[in-house]
Amino acid sequence: MPVILALDQGTTSSRSILFDEKGALLGVAQKEFKQHYPQPGWVEHDAHEIWETQFATLAEVLAKARIEPHHIAAIGITNQRETTVVWDRHSGEPIAPAIVWQDRRTAAYCDQLRQQGIAPLLQEKTGLILDAYFSATKLKWILDQIPGARQKASNGELAFGTIDSWLIYKLTKGTVHATDVSNASRTLLFNIHTLQWDPELLALFDIPASVLPVVKPSSGIIGECTIIPGARIPIAGVAGDQQAALFGQLCTEEGMVKNTYGTGCFMLMNTGEQAIRSNNQLLSTIAWQIDGKTTYALEGSVFIGGAVVQWLRDELKVINSAPDIEKLAATVKSSEGVYIVPAFAGLGAPYWNAHARGALFGLTRGTNHAHIARAALDSIAYQSADLLTCMQADAKIPIRELRVDGGATANDLLMQFQADLLGCQVIRPVITETTAMGAAFLAGLGVGVWKDQASLTLQWKRDRVFEPALPVAERNILLKGWQRAVKATIAWAADQST
């Protein structure tokens, strides 16, 4: 039976997961690695450590599941996006620490570009907003700040890659320098309409084309892994983590949406063959390219999702563990008019207010821990509903269902409230390892383990469907209360400057 190995290289850990051809999970291994914060706002990873932990988990999962390397039909890669590595093509050595997506060191430079009115051009070409988050300014920083880097780059001696490229390079013993379209679309250098690195953007960020990887489809053989003794294994699927999760949820048709409820929430909507320009500062991104067909997505995120539960646990200390919140919240029928707006780090789409801070509304003499716990869970659902409203407005596509994954989806109360607020089904799959599963699906398709996308539908199984049960009138009252709470939160932040 063919086995597929998914490498899931995340922000805090590297993982390796094995799937069989029925989509069943055969084994998982995980290793955390170190986060480096050399200055306020800076976040770095050691690219060597990323590779070492990734390779160690690969070896561990094979040993644990007793799988011989030659049984692996294909390797799929999914990765933390935007994180930037530059290495020397001769020695294979990174010339600087990897600059992580969270790193803000280039924020001031982004502000300068914004003042020059560059943002609309960037949005038009790349689907992204001008932000330090994406790779271009990180790459420019390395080329400008590391002594000799510019010279080496112009001699063609340097290679740039996001983490997928770095892993491909290591897995192929330095013979392949490539990325996939979904990762390329997070760099601010890739034109998502022409599907090429964009010369105008390269000039704008002063990036020599010689450092760039070759851009490949998300499914299909990119190279051969030769680093595992005893086998040559095709690397046949690559996608950034959120895009892989969209694929892993089999949101393969236009209008299908997934939301991942982790520390923050990440929502992506498949918009088919059209890259939709958002009026709400959502991102347009490439979901994947398969068999010559490019699929696009709209993407939005909630900054504080499951993190509000951690806040109740770690700061307010009203629960001992995250799952405890469900039992506590279930002791009351509703929040009884209490709202938490967890704008701890500002508000994202559709409000975009960096100055907003968290707020608690509607307290009465009878408010207790349970109401606050319930309001905290509700706030995750309200913020997700706001995102979905933006997406539907931008895409003009009505949605039928929401597919969910991530740690907080274990919470049935939250999932039911989400269905009630959206008025659509919320569907939780059996295997919630959707990111790794997406990479495995792409890789399996790439080598013919599955013959087409239709045959994948058999691999994705529902665990539970949450049906909307709240009358529309009641839903509207709740949503109105939330909107008032957000409005008041923003007003409070605005008053600060008067």
Task: Give me the residues that bind ligand ADP (CB under 6 A), please.
Answer: 262-263, 306-307, 309-310, 322-323, 325-326, 406-408, 410-411, 414
Closest distance to ligand ADP from the beta carbon of 260 (Å) = 7
Query: In the complex with ligand ADP, which residue's Cβ is closer, 13 or 425?
Result: 13
Asked if 252 and 396 touch (Cβ cutoff 8 Å), the reply is no
Which amino acid is located at 98 in the chain? Answer: A
Query: In the complex with ligand ADP, which residue's Cβ is closer, 176 or 338?
Result: 338
Query: In the complex with ligand ADP, which residue's Cβ is closer, 106 or 411?
Result: 411
Closest distance to ligand ADP from the beta carbon of 396 (Å) = 31
Query: In the complex with ligand ADP, which residue's Cβ is closer, 37 or 111?
Result: 37
Asked if 78 and 241 touch (Cβ cutoff 8 Å), the reply is yes
Query: In the complex with ligand ADP, which residue's Cβ is closer, 303 or 492?
Result: 303
Q: How many CB atoms lie within 10 A of CB 73?
A: 21
Closest distance to ligand ADP from the beta carbon of 378 (Å) = 12
Helices and strands (DSSP H and E) totals, the chain? 16, 23
Closest distance to ligand ADP from the beta carbon of 61 (Å) = 19
Closest distance to ligand ADP from the beta carbon of 166 (Å) = 21
Asked if 358 and 372 touch (Cβ cutoff 8 Å), the reply is no
Contacts of 279 (CB under 8 A, 6+ apart): 393, 394
Closest distance to ligand ADP from the beta carbon of 262 (Å) = 3
Contacts of 29 (CB under 8 A, 6+ apart): 15, 16, 56, 57, 58, 60, 61, 64
Closest distance to ligand ADP from the beta carbon of 329 (Å) = 9
Query: In the complex with ligand ADP, which residue's Cβ is closer, 202 or 318?
Result: 318
The label of the residue with tokens 């709470």 reads 485
Closest-approach residue to ligand ADP (CB): 407
The DSSP code sequence of 450-462 is SSSHHHHGGG--E
- Which residues sit opposite 175 in a β-bridge? none
For 149: left if phi > 0, alpha if psi spans -120 to 50, otherwise beta; the answer is alpha
Q: What CA–CA distances, in Å, run from 314 to 1, 261, 375, 379, 440?
A: 46, 19, 17, 18, 36
The label of the residue with tokens 């699906």 reads 441
DSSP state of 94: B
Query: In the complex with ligand ADP, which residue's Cβ is closer, 110 or 309?
Result: 309
Query: In the complex with ligand ADP, which residue's Cβ is closer, 110 or 427?
Result: 427
Query: In the complex with ligand ADP, which residue's Cβ is closer, 360 or 410?
Result: 410
Query: In the complex with ligand ADP, which residue's Cβ is closer, 159 or 329?
Result: 329
DSSP state of 390: H
Cα 77–chain centre separation = 14
Q: How many CB atoms lie within 10 A of CB 364?
A: 9
Contacts of 260 (CB under 8 A, 6+ apart): 242, 245, 266, 267, 404, 405, 406, 434
Q: What CA–CA distances, in Å, run from 176 to 65, 166, 317?
A: 29, 10, 50
The distance in angstroms from the start CA to the end CA of the chain is 68
Closest distance to ligand ADP from the beta carbon of 326 (Å) = 6
Report the distance separating Cα 298 and Cα 459, nearest Å.
25
Closest distance to ligand ADP from the beta carbon of 339 (Å) = 18
Query: In the complex with ligand ADP, which residue's Cβ is closer, 267 or 309?
Result: 309
Cα 26–chain centre separation = 24
Closest distance to ligand ADP from the beta carbon of 110 (Å) = 25
Residue 215, SS3?
A: strand
Closest distance to ligand ADP from the beta carbon of 301 (Å) = 11
The label of the residue with tokens 């760039």 reads 212
Report the distance separating Cα 168 and Cα 234, nearest Å.
11
Query: In the complex with ligand ADP, which residue's Cβ is closer, 139 or 307?
Result: 307
Count CA atoms closer than 13 A to 110's CA, side-chain side. 19
Query: In the complex with ligand ADP, which residue's Cβ is closer, 32 or 68?
Result: 32
Closest distance to ligand ADP from the beta carbon of 309 (Å) = 4
Closest distance to ligand ADP from the beta carbon of 9 (Å) = 13
